[in-house]
Structure 1
Amino acid sequence: MPHLFYSSPPLSSCHPEPILCDLGEFHCHDQQICIPEAWLCDGEPDCPDNSDESDHICAQEVVIRCPLNHIQCIGTRKCIHFNKLCNGARDCEDGYDEGVHCRELLSACHELRCRYGCVMTRNGTFCFCADGFEVGEDGTSCRDHDECAMYGACSQTCMNTYGSYRCSCTEGYILQPDRISCRAKQGEQHTCIHETMRCKSKIHSIPEKHQPGCTQPI
């Protein structure tokens, strides 16, 4: 009887397949990372290849979403904190944050009786709260702001706390120095497994996103 030999299937390629980004995300040019569109052209590279800060991307029209308690300088991508409005220093290039309204609206601010602080803009006055808090329904009091409800606050898991929030990562990932993004732990990010073992068992400890073709959690 002849001996039968079975050839082993080839090892899966270590070259990751391109991933698809969700609505409201930017696809880094490396085709492997998605970041919130709010991080585009903010002066801080978030893509490994810095494509989110490239001249080609930033030359296009980008919708700026300023953080809580910040306001956009007209005609720019710069956001400044409410505390910098009417502080006697020009923080916006065109001086939008300063002007005669800072003096004329002082009495209107006093009448609001804001719990924390009052903002004076050229369009009027309104109350604001300390970072991590938002104005209540009465327009003057302050309440906790749920940062986790904001898209992109954390790359994986977000836990809201009183006046702040905390990011964490799922098993197999480690939180980065920015305390927001997550990266696969050393030894797991570029691990190859046999083609026949993909999506089979947790014992391989390979993050699902690094196993192209997986349709179920491992």
Structure 2
Amino acid sequence: MTGQCRSRASGDLDEDQPKEEKKECYYNLNDASLCDNVLAPNVTKQECCCTSGAGWGDNCEIFPCPVVGTAEFTEMCPRGKGFVPTGESSYEMGGENYKDADECMLFGQEICKNGFCLNTQPGYECYCKQGTYYDPVKLQCFDMDECQDPNSCIDGQCVNTEGSYNCFCTHPMVLDASEKRCIRPTESHEQVEETDVYQDLCWEHLSEEYVCSRPLVGKQTTYTECCCLYGEAWGMQCALCPMKDSDDYAQLCNIPVTGRRRPYGRDALVDFSEQYAPEADPYFIQDHVNECDELNNRMSLCKNAKCINTEGSYKCLCLPGYVPSDKPNYCTPLNTALNLEKDSDLE
């Protein structure tokens, strides 16, 4: 009887080797909603812990990934962060082959929400749109509030928008070339406006985002005519009209300021005495102003809260999941407030 050794097919070898277990990969284990922080549902422990994962498991039964620099991490990830074992790589160490992990492919948009993920070797980069920034803890691009920077809109009113912001100037001031500062127009321009003959578009509607719309059809007006008779903003730069219950409005439209009643609109331009009676209800303002209705149309009185009108004033009621902060009329997320309390206790 003779024997002959034959090489086994690669497929036979693969069948003898146990398949590596695959489970869910989690991130940010310090978050209260950590069970929802799933990067990928079907990855190996090394694909998770040697890349961007913080824990690995199923149904929120999580095995925390070893900390970088420890012996446990070196044993699991001998090539370091960003490399995983594979049979198709040119990197060799200890008889095992390793390759750069493509985090963008492994985790998709979960690792770079609202941005563009680009794989690098090792690791990845998340590119956010202009006006947004990447949060490496929440793995997401968030809007940058440019209005927090006082240099974004000097001597004007800054309104943050998604990915950008607007700087509004009060007439007769205009934006300079940098569009970050409100300045007075040139002397010749001032002379024209002093005669009150310069005319431009009159906008009849101003949205909560300070976007001008519905231009007055059929005629152009002066700033005074627009604000006192027709609209809420004026000119191509959307110069805001003063609020109708403000002293600035009364001065612009030549109206005496009384605590009893104040005409506006077309009635604002007629001569009247203290006994002036408005033509109809739309031209009558009660002593008590509902700030939540009147002011909230122009600016956000309450941040992350609901505006509640009160006698002579208003208050802000925080939305579910938010608590009052040190800033007036500003509610902060509950988790953020708890973290701040912990930090202050440590100090």
Give yes or no for TM over 0.5.
no
- With a CA cutoff of 8 Å and minimum separation of 6, indicate the structure with the bigger relative contact order: 1
Q: Which has the larger radius of gyration?
A: 2
Larger relative helix fraction: 2
Q: Which category describes the TM-score, using the shorter chain as reference length?
A: 0.3 to 0.5
TM-score of the two chains, using structure 1 as the length reference:
0.39
Task: Choose between structure 1 and 2: higher strand proportion.
Answer: 2
